Structure 1
Amino acid sequence: MLKNLYLICGKSGSGKTWIVDKLHNEYNYKVLKSYTTRPKRHPSDNDHIYVSLSNYYIDKENDGIAADTYFNKNFYWSRHAQLLESELYVIDKKGIETLVSSENIDRKFVVIYIKCSEEKRIEHMRMRGDKQKDIYERLSNDEKEFVGIEHFADFIVNGNYDEKWQTVKNIIDKCEKVS
């Protein structure tokens, strides 16, 4: 188990899920799958744990939510126990702000921001099957939601997919040595 929890963030289509999946497949890192009330994008979509809205309210009522966000009429959240059991977590800026400011979580976080041009992000979203309307909605939302993300990021990673995942792996290796 890694000492730190690596919070991987980036705008829609930046490749964060691909990078995390690659690291999981190559090195067996444990990925935190957040809960969501949104439907699957496709039948084999396993990026999240898909549940009903009532699950969100039950977790909220039981104070079981570590970080949550609301986007495109759906909730996304993680539970406290997941933070202690996981090594990689794809998360948005609001979630990072919540976790970093929390005093109830006994885990060190390393924030890695995946940077990507808008042109490439659009290409990636099209490739995964996003509708044009959804792409532009995500682009618009990201422009507002990611303002100031650089101030939260311990590392900013740029480049193509292969460079990005290898850079993230190098960051993890170095951070684990000094933790």
Structure 2
Amino acid sequence: MKKKCFVLMGYSGSGKTEIAKALEKYSYNILQSYTTRQPRYEGEYGHMFCTVDEYEQFERNGEVAAYSLIEGNHYFSTKEQIYNTPNLIYVCDPDGIKDLKEKITDIEFITIYIKVDKKTRMRRMHERGDSVDKILSRVTTDGIKFAKKRFDYQVINYEFDKAVKIIKNIIETENEQPLN
């Protein structure tokens, strides 16, 4: 039986990272990807921040998986993270998922699309401190990146606790065993 990795995908502001954090209490490990962008705030959850030189070193070593370029910044995980993290939940975009599935064929990636309307996403991005220019840029970029999205499951995220429970049930069903 192949190892399974559950990948949360959705437009900016859909709640992917918050859902991932909520799933940690069920013994799942959240893969924090690397990025060359600047942190939004000190101690930001969900990413490990690195330099372009560090990214290039990972790339030269053939370690980059789930690569995506967003607004000129590199986002990626490493093969080591994917292979060595048990009970894995990963937040990723369609480009990263495509790259991941091409580079790692001996793991089953189950994609869960988090759906929220544009107005709600924009409000959430504003509340987390994104500028109007940044919000509009992300909405435009996401529209292009997600135009041909493919996923295994779709979960609507207007009621956070309900969305987490649904995703927990998806994971349990896919694993055929209950989480803690």
Normalising by structure 1, we get a TM-score of 0.92
Please give the alpha-carbon distance, in whole angstroms, between the structure 2 residues aligned to 1:172 and 1:111: 11
CA RMSD of aligned residues (A): 1.5
Q: Which residue of 2 aligns with 1:132?
A: 132
Runs of 4 or more, structure 1, over 6 Å off, are none
**Residue 12 (1) aligns with residue 20 (2):** no
Q: Which residue of 2 aligns with 1:141?
A: 141
Code of the residue aligned with 1:100 in structure 2: it is K
**Residue 88 (1) aligns with residue 89 (2):** yes
Please give the alpha-carbon distance, in whole angstroms, between the structure 2 residues aligned to 1:20 and 1:157: 13
Query: Which runs of structure 2 are paired with 1:63-74 in the superposition (5 Å)?
Result: 63-74=62-73
Tell me the CA shift for residue 105 of structure 1: 3.9
Query: Which runs of structure 2 are paired with 1:103-142 in the superposition (5 Å)?
Result: 104-142=104-142
Please give the alpha-carbon distance, in whole angstroms, between the structure 2 residues aligned to 1:40 and 1:111: 26
Q: Which residue of 2 aligns with 1:39?
A: 38
- 2:67 partner SS: strand
**Residue 167 (1) aligns with residue 166 (2):** yes
- 1:153 partner SS: coil
Tell me the CA shift for residue 35 of structure 1: 0.6
Code of the residue aligned with 2:94 in structure 1: it is K
Preserved CA contact (<8 Å) 1:59 1:65: yes
Please give the alpha-carbon distance, in whole angstroms, between the structure 2 residues aligned to 1:72 and 1:101: 23
Please give the alpha-carbon distance, in whole angstroms, between the structure 2 residues aligned to 1:123 and 1:41: 16
For structure 1, which runs of at least 5 residues remain unmatched after alignment?
none
- Structure 1 155/41 Cα, relative in aligned 2: closer, same or farther at 3 Å? same
Normalising by structure 2, we get a TM-score of 0.91
Please give the alpha-carbon distance, in whole angstroms, between the structure 1 residues aligned to 2:157 and 2:45: 26
Code of the residue aligned with 1:94 in structure 2: it is D
Preserved CA contact (<8 Å) 1:93 1:146: yes
- How many positions carry a matched residue from both structures? 173
Tell me the CA shift for residue 94 of structure 1: 0.5
For structure 2, which runs of at least 5 residues remain unmatched after alignment?
none
Tell me the CA shift for residue 97 of structure 1: 1.1
Preserved CA contact (<8 Å) 1:3 1:108: yes
